[in-house]
Amino acid sequence: MILACKDISKGYGTDIILDKISFNLEEKEKAAVVGVNGAGKTTLFKIITDSISHDDGQLYIPKGTTVGYLEQNIDIRSEKTIYEEMLSVFEPIFKLEEKLRDMENKMSI
């Protein structure tokens, strides 16, 4: 299991956005979250990514599991293309690869 939500609830004042939402997501399983505007889809994703807290219920994400969320409306102020922006999240890995290549070159001399 890579994600489990049990009786997750979230409200703002008297407005209940999520009311005892429960589901499990197994490894290699795919899921879709659909609903009308205001149904709580974004709220659910923000709870899962720990951007906001839930009022009640339990959220289980196994240790070592990484959850990402790309907002549908992002204010990007960059000269980069969308592709370059997406690649930028891998910058630490690219730097490690470069460092590894440098070390390999030094070892071959």
Q: Where are the domains of the chain?
A: 1-73, 75-109
- Closest alpha carbon to 7 in 60, 62, 68: 60
Which CATH fold would you assign to the domain 1-73? Rossmann fold (3.40.50)
Task: List the structure tokens of 10.
Answer: 């979230």
Asked if residue 59 lies in contact with residue 23, where contact means CB atoms within 8 angstroms, the answer is no
C-alpha span between 52 and 77 (Å, rounded): 24
The helix/strand/coil state of 73 is coil
What does the pLDDT look like over 30-86, one tens digit per residue? Answer: 999 999 998 999 999 999 999 999 999 999 999 988 887 777 776 767 788 888 888
76-102: pLDDT as tens digits? 677 888 888 888 889 999 999 999 999
Q: Which of 34, 42, 36, 41 is nearest to 74 (CA)?
A: 42
Global pTM?
Answer: 0.65
